[in-house]
Chains A and B, each alone.
Chain A
Amino acid sequence: MSKEQQEILGLKTGEGGIIISKLDDLLNWARLSSLWPVGFGLACCAIEFMSTASSAYDLDRFGVIPRNSPRQADVMIVSGTVTFKMADRVIRLYEQMADPKYVISMGSCANCGGPYWEHGYHVLKGVDRVIPVDVYVPGCPPRPEALIGGFLKLQEKIRTESVLAPKALEKLMKKDVV
């Protein structure tokens, strides 16, 4: 076990093989170490996504394995141009994913319409108009390193999450009681 993992998981007591950690940390660690994306590509950006998964860049080492079903996926990489026709399908795929789910918008097209922002009557000007986006990866197309950077950013985000914190209650408490 690496030093970093030890830190995440808290102290290792040694003999008994017991690890003590916060449940939140354990859950987050499990989640961020196995980010499985839905494997689909929309345009030129998908080529870079594919090469990121190739042996040269080895996305596998971050626990990122493309899945063929949204039901088994944790993260959706919108890699490329989202046309209006496709947008309906992207929404459908997103809705089929089980919570917790994340979205990485890869490339200028998915971020804001890219080269089609002005004359692309058929292009959705940013996938965040239809589904919530967690990480934007800029570039046309972004290099594989940039996509990996996006995954690292997403991991950072997940690391600070808490499923157990009573957020709804906190929100309620903050409201002025009439």
Chain B
Amino acid sequence: MSFEELKQLIQESFSEAIVAEDELATPKALLVSKDSLHEVCDFLYTNDKTYFDSLSCMTAIDNGVEKSTVEIAYNLYSIPFDIHLMIKVELDRDNPSVVSVSDIWRTADWHEREAFDLVGIHFNNHPDLRRILLPDDWEGHPLRRDYVEQERYHDVKVKY
């Protein structure tokens, strides 16, 4: 199934869902609205024409203070049909939150925890949203562009 067909398929069921597209991305990307993310994902997962059964990767990106957005890229792969697709959502940078897709792909569980840990995105309905890499009592989210490391951690100086 081609990118255009995929786009049409989604648009037929969710007319408002697709906000923008990026044909230059690899794989080609669809920007969907935050509110329709879960239904679109669920649709792509269950539909027998697409059957995106694998969430290969999920990445959170901070676009910086000026743009004031963060985005998440979901890299989907359908094993039976051998098709790739990237789904993106853009969120507000202050207090970013989006619904979790970990009930669709278990892979998302840890990926979302990582996005929470490093970029500070909150995932609603996530079963266990804790930090995954940094210690629980760490302050701040290091992959935000305006991150400044804390002075001391457990009484040890953090800077060199």
Contact = CB atoms under 8 A, between A and B. Distances in A.
Contacts of A122: 133-134, 142
A-B pairs, top 6 by smallest CB distance, nearest first, are A121-B149, A85-B135, A125-B160, A117-B160, A84-B153, A121-B142
Contact of A84 (B147, B154, B160): B154
Which of B135, B142, B147 has most chain A Cβ within 10 Å? B135
Interface string B68-97: 000000000000000000000000000000
B160 A87 contact: no
Interface in A149-174: none
A129 interface: yes
A58 interface: no
Nearest to B153: A84
A84 B158 contact: yes
Contacts, number: 32
Contact of A87 (B147, B154, B159): B154
B160 to A, nearest CB: 5
Contact of A118 (B134, B142, B154, B160): B160
A107 interface: no
A129 B133 CA distance: 22
B135 A125 contact: no
Interface string B10-35: 00000000000000000000000000
B1 interface: no
12 contacts: A84-B135, A84-B154, A84-B156, A84-B158, A85-B133, A88-B135, A88-B154, A113-B160, A118-B160, A121-B147, A124-B156, A129-B157
B93 to A, nearest CB: 20
Contact of B156 (A112, A117, A121, A129): A129
Contacts of B147: 121
Nearest to B136: A85
B156 A130 contact: yes
Contacts of B135: 84-85, 88
A112 B159 CA distance: 11
Interface in B128-157: 133-135, 138, 142, 147, 149, 153-154, 156-157
A121 B156 CA distance: 12
B122 to A, nearest CB: 21
A171 B7 CA distance: 82
Contacts of B153: 84
Nearest to A124: B156
Contacts of B160: 112-113, 117-118, 125
A53 B135 CA distance: 32
